[in-house]
Amino acid sequence: MFITRRSLSRRTFLRGMGSAAIGLPMLDAMTPALGAQSAARTPRLGFVYIPNGVILEQWKPQIVGAGYDRPPILAPLSPVADKMNVLTGLAHREADSKGDGTGDHPRASAVWLTGVHAYDRTQPGVEVRLAKTADQYAADRLGRETRLPSLEMTLEMPRAGACDSGDCFYVNTVSWRNETTPNLTEVHPRIVFERLFGDGGTAEERQARLASRGSILDSVVAETGRLSSTLGPGDRNKLTEYLDSVREIEQRIANAESSNAQSVELPDRPTDIPDSWDEHARMMFDLQVLAYQADVTRVASMVVGRELSSLTYPQIGVPEGHHSISHHRGEADLIAKKARIDTYHMELFSYFLQKMESIPDGDGTLLDNSLILCGGGMGDGNLHGHTDLPCLMAGRLGGRFRTGRHVAYPADTPMSNLLLTILDAVDVRLDRLGDSTGRLQPDPLSV
């Protein structure tokens, strides 16, 4: 490792015109300032929500422990299987109906990070209330040193109108600041980009930058040159690769916007997203990686699709709506299509994890020093079951967790117990979260 006499702060930014501020990735030159231990163990948490349950027979491994098998839906995750655990047996029984009628889907996403029953439909007009979510407890601690305490994103336009008993709030986000305040999710890559690296000014300024193919990075080029001259060869390469990634995704966003520029006037908040859902998903996951890499935030959530989603996937041969397909009634062709959607979601999740694994961070990789929880509040989507939930836990959180295993818990183990265990690992101590009965005992995830 090249050591300079000058130590860089982890909070060093490249600042340009206006509000542009480019955070830096972890560099060797920061290690003397932080110490090797803290540099390697900057924790990041991510929460990725998948809706409408899964085809459990094609999801759940048969082998328990190390060397677990990858059923068809989990096969795309094989490249990162050693950095991931499959957890089975967990349940969110607070998503069950308690005499308040239908609403299993909204309750599923509402309960996922709270362990709290969402609402009582037998009492019309009752104020929409939930609870503070696990990600926000983590953000209270991990967000003290970052520009954004947390980042909430979605791959599906938030639902509005015609919602019963607050359903819109419950299906559009999995993150709540407190019992009455949901964190709204962002679907537009440009808005996420500018939250991370600075806003683009007025609509006219945005339009001018698109026309000139200008970049936020152009405004920090001089400062980049000055910083680069103080770094060793390894750090210069890291900095160049990181800034190239920032520029590349900014260009992808600009291309998506310009493709619709003739038909859509650019407003103060841009509304253009890529025509390809696949490209949109990869772009948003890339932005999440950049947010972690630049330490703009250490806590993020991604709603891949909201509960009751009617999104279609013609690109994989499923032109029917996701929610209708999930109610397959045991019909083989519908089961096959639902499994195809589930596998497609895992392909994109694998893309995200492999991207994190490719980025050096401290004495490991970005994935090594993170923990990404992926799953949902519904197991069997056909029957609206909230037991045996799909649950994946990727990353080792700086060595705090062992990975590469299928961990089978006793049936109906509260998933809230897992959330408490994860929060413990980032030094957030709670006596209880939702319907938790304690930490996982014994805790097979700890080193």
pLDDT for the residue numbered 102: 76
- SS3 string, 367-402, reads CCCEEEEEECCCCCCCCCCCCCCCEEEECCCCCCEC
Sheet holding 151-154, edge to edge: 65-66, 405-414, 84-91, 391-394, 370-375, 44-49, 299-303, 151-154
Q: Which two tokens stand for residue 126?
A: 């009752």
Closest CA to 411 of 135, 47, 82, 60: 60
DSSP string, 144-159: GGSSSS-EEEESSPPP
Q: What is the pLDDT of residue 5?
A: 41
The domains of the chain, with CATH numbers, are: 1-40+198-272 (no CATH), 44-187+276-447 (3.40.720.10)
Annotate 62-93 with DSSP letters as a single string. Answer: SS-EET----GGGGGGGGGGGGEEEEEEEE-G
How far lies 84's CA from each of 139, 370, 415, in Å? 23, 11, 17
- pLDDT for the residue 36: 46
Q: Which helix (H) or strand (E) holds 347?
A: helix 332-357
Q: Residue 55 carries which side chain, given as an amino acid letter?
A: I
Question: Is residue 209 within a helix (H) or strand (E), and if so which, with residue range?
Answer: helix 203-212
Give the chain's end-to-end CA distance (angstroms, integer). 28
> How far from 360 is each of 53, 235, 365, CA to CA, in Å?
34, 11, 4
User: What pLDDT does residue 101 have?
Assistant: 73
How far, in whole angstroms, is CA 220 from its chain's centroid? 29
Answer for the pair 148, 195: CB distance below 8 angstroms, yes or no. Answer: yes
pLDDT digits (tens), the chain, 447 positions:
333 444 566 556 555 555 556 666 667 666 555 454 444 468 999 999 999 999 999 999 999 999 899 999 999 999 999 999 999 999 999 999 888 777 899 999 999 999 999 876 556 666 778 999 999 999 999 998 888 999 999 999 876 654 555 677 899 999 999 998 999 999 999 889 888 877 555 555 555 555 554 566 665 666 676 676 677 777 777 777 777 777 777 777 777 666 554 433 434 444 568 889 999 999 999 999 999 998 999 999 999 999 999 999 999 999 999 999 999 999 999 999 999 999 999 999 999 999 999 999 988 999 999 999 999 999 999 999 999 999 999 999 999 999 999 999 999 999 999 999 999 999 999 999 999 999 998 887 887
Q: Which two tokens stand for residue 336?
A: 């096959």
Residues in the chain: 447
Task: List the Cα angle 211/213/219 in 5-degree steps.
Answer: 120
From residue 214, give the alpha-carbon distance in Å to each of 205, 218, 242, 271: 10, 7, 18, 20
What are the Cα distances from residue 370, in Å, to 46, 134, 443?
Answer: 8, 16, 19
Q: How far apart are CA 121 and CA 99, in angstroms?
A: 8
Which pLDDT belongs to residue 265? 42
pLDDT of res. 203: 54
Question: What is the pTM (predicted TM-score) of this model?
Answer: 0.84
The amino acid sitting at 24 is L
Residue 182 has φ and ψ, to the nearest 5°, of -75, 145
Provide the b/e sequence for 184-199 (b: ≥16 CB within 10 Å): ebbbbbbbbbbbbbbb
Question: What is the reported pLDDT for 445?
Answer: 84
Token reading at 306 = 């909201």
What's the Cα-to-Cα distance from 113 to each of 14, 89, 107, rounded to whole Å? 35, 17, 11
Q: H or E segment at 248?
A: helix 233-258
- What is residue 40's predicted lDDT score, i.e. its pLDDT? 47
3-class SS of residue 166: coil
Q: Three-state SS for 186? A: strand
Per-residue pLDDT, 98 = 85
User: Can you tell me which residue has the tokens 């069950």?
Assistant: 96
Could you say which DSSP state residue 406 is in? E
